[in-house]
Structure 1
Amino acid sequence: MKQNAITQANKAFTNEHHDGSVCVFAGGTNGIGANTLEKLVQMLRSATFYVIGGSTARFADQRATLERLNPNAKIVFFEGDVTLLSDVDTFAKTVLDAETKVDYLFMSPGRLPLAGAEYTTEGLEVSFTLSYYARMRLTANLLPRLLAAPRARVLSVLNGGKEGVFREDDLGLVDNWSSLAVMAQYTTVTTLAFDHLAAQNKTFTFLQAYPGLVRTGISNLVAPSGSGIGRRAYVAVVGRFVGMLALLFGMTPVASGERHAYHLTSSAFGPGMWRVDDQSEVAKGTEVLKYRAAGWPKRIWEFTVSVFDKI
């Protein structure tokens, strides 16, 4: 879908009345998420936005911009670490205690898993947690409020349509972690988990969207403390290569934000689970179909809940 068509669709939505919407953002403080948040603040005349991020002080300038763009927007910032499920729970409780519904849930925290495996104080691998566990935990916590909205949307910006073979015998990649393995794993299990949730909650929409190359800082990678020379060199070279590709061929963060605001609001995506490509079209990849037929959506969700229970 052409960028101009995206812009026109967003303008048409803005001219409608959507007062009282409640939006929740994880990953909304930089890059694609920040630009999606900025666009949605302009599209919704009178709405409440809950945002989780690492620093209230660093969010101050962004808050000022959002409030200038729409003085009627209510911005609620929660200082927390998205890699910790305990912080995700507390953030969700803030929303649950204050609101009777949630209309839009946007999630884009993550990083390229090239710097090696790192683990949180809760024992979960950081890259997998940012791209999968934290997003699913937030979704699960907010389900009662999403169900209360007339047309709720859940959007995970990741790799829609890029699903592939995953490790069935090690779903959490406890013993088989690698950069390629973790990207394949969290991509496919996200779609399958959303498949399960969509089957259980038929009134609203789940989307996994692939943003394509975007000129953000996601490629500014640093190897973990204590890494050897080889690991540090590998991370630096790959990060710069990805950054160069994005600079040469990627879309701007503003254009990407417009697209994801469209995904959240467009009537093109009705209730159910949708995989969306970087052109805002329904993704054509079929690898995931065999897992759906084999009953993996329910098994993936049961595994995910078991991880939550352990934590």
Structure 2
Amino acid sequence: MGVAFKDCPDTADEYFIDVKHAQEVRLCGFELVTGNIAEALFPNPIIYILGRSASKFAPHLSALQTINPFATLVFLERDPSLLSDIDKACEEIRAKQTKIDYIFMSPGLMPLNGPQMTSENSELCFVLSYYGRIRLIQKLLPLLRQAPSPRVLSILAAGREKPFVESDFGFENPKNWSAGGAINQITVLMSLGMEYLAKRERKVLFLHSYPGLVRTDIVARLEAPEGSSWLWVLAVGLTKKAFAMYMVLKGTPVEESGEMQAYILTSGEFEAGKMVPVNEHCEEYAAAQMKVVEGYKARGLPERVWEYTMGVLERATMP
């Protein structure tokens, strides 16, 4: 039996879609991580917010309205962990907009509790940080193509890639699962998936960034699953406390991180035609720093990853 996203508290909640700069209309999709990195990104926007609960998001909505009283904010109540809901949200956007300039994506969770399946039988961590993001891009590509200089930014862990499990892209074999392994697997998939897209959609700039440690509540919201042993409950509690202290000492404030990601998304320093990996200093990684990904590209892995990903998305959204 699958677990719906609402049963998993340690995850991201919302998507943001922003429209309007100066005299021209711009649409920017925001997929927002816990802690709301994107909240301060763009002035004077029309924003669609996609999330599970309008009432839960109300304080953030109010804050956004205070930041810019000229902003138009529209909440679409959808579940970001369900690919079918992402499809419905994209249909609503496509019915109202003719182009998209920016897509910004950053939801995720710490997969310390092992695999957690959604009601669509997709693993939650993989959906939030990879499948859902690719689905969003795929469904909104027709609108991206209509923009003069479209950009897509996926915030994850660019430049941190290590060799991944080529025989089991989605970690369907439980023996392959570990928290660190899952994070690395998703990161490599994202780099290769975006590389595939970048080579075929040369007008679109595809950016994959690593923000470093940011002071969000992604760990604070982590809970041991119901029925866990007392030892695991204790371990999760201690991990939360230790990580919270480390974040205070070493983490980047959310507002500062938002400014940096806004710079990455809008900077003229990066060129389309390839997946552009960006570090925590807003600088593009050199090819020598991306040896793992470069090796996979030389062996044709982007094509294999894309074929696999399309199969997963098709199965998950079949009636």
Name the TM-score, length of structure 2 as normaliser.
0.87
Residue matched to 2:92 = 94
Kept after mapping to 2: 8 A contact 1:276/1:282:
yes
In the aligned structure 1, how far is the partner of 2:292 from the partner of 2:52?
Answer: 36
Find out whether 1:238 has 2:239 as its counterpart: yes
Matches within 5 A, 1:76-87: 76-87=74-85
State the alpha-carbon separation in 2 of the partners of residues 116 and 234 from structure 1: 14
In the alignment, which residue of structure 2 is the partner of 1:177? 177
> Greater helix percent: which structure?
1
Alignment match of 1:39 (pick from 38, 41, 65) = 41
| Residue of structure 1 in register with 2:50 after alignment | 52
Tell me the C-alpha RMSD between the 2 structures.
1.6
| Corresponding letter in the other structure for 2:248 | L
**Partner AA of 2:283 in structure 1:** E
Residue 232 of structure 1, CA deviation: 2.0
Q: Tell me the residue number matched to 1:203.
A: 203
Deviations 1:215-264 (A, max 9, x none): 11011111111222232223222232222221101110000010111111
Name the CA distance, whole Å, in 1 between partners of 2:23 and 2:298. 38
| CA distance in 1: counterparts of 2:237 and 2:207, whole angstroms | 32
Please give the secondary structure, in 2, of the residue aligned with 1:238.
helix
Secondary structure (helix, strand or coil) at the match of 1:78 reads strand
Query: Deviation string for 1:31-54 (max 9, x for gaps)?
Result: 1xx2423231x2xx3x32222112
Please give the residue correspondences for 1:116-265 in structure 2 after superposition, counting only pairs within 5 Å: 116-175=114-173, 176-220=176-220, 221-265=222-266
8 Å Cα contact 1:164/1:287 also seen in 2 = yes
Query: Contact 2:83 / 2:132 at 8 angstroms: preserved in 1?
Result: yes
Alpha-carbon contact 2:32-2:38 (below 8 Å) kept: no
Alpha-carbon contact 1:155-1:209 (below 8 Å) kept:
yes
Which letter maps to 1:282?
A: E
Q: CA deviation at 1:70?
A: 2.2
Aligned to 1:112: 110
Give the partner amino acid of 2:106.
S
Alpha carbons 2:162, 2:184 under 8 Å: kept: yes
Identity %: 38
d(CA) in 2 for partners of 1:56, 1:214: 25
Q: Give the unaligned 5+ runs of structure 1.
A: 1-15
TM alignment of 1:21-32, pairs within 5 A: 21-27=26-32, 30-31=34-35
Which amino acid in structure 2 is aligned with residue 299 of structure 1?
A: R
SS for the counterpart of 2:145 is helix
User: What does the per-residue CA deviation read over 1:180-230, in whole Å, with 9 as the maximum and x for residues that have no partner?
Assistant: 211110000100000000001000111111111111101111111122223
- 2:296 counterpart of 1:296: no
2:275 maps to amino acid? M
Are the counterparts in 2 of residues 27 and 108 from structure 1 also a CA contact under 8 Å?
A: yes
Alignment size in residue pairs:
289
Q: Secondary structure of 1:288's partner?
A: helix
Deviation at 1:17, TM superposition (A): 4.4
Q: Deviations over 1:147-206 (max 9, x none)?
A: 111111111110011111111111110102221211110000100000000001000111
Task: Give distance in 2, aligned partners of 1:240 and 1:136.
Answer: 33
The CA distance in 2 between the partners of 1:50 and 1:205, in whole Å, is 22
TM-score for both structures, normalised by structure 1? 0.89
Deviation at 1:269, TM superposition (A): 1.6
Q: Decide whether the 8 Å contact of 1:27 with 1:52 is kept in 2.
A: no
3-state SS, counterpart of residue 292 of structure 1: helix
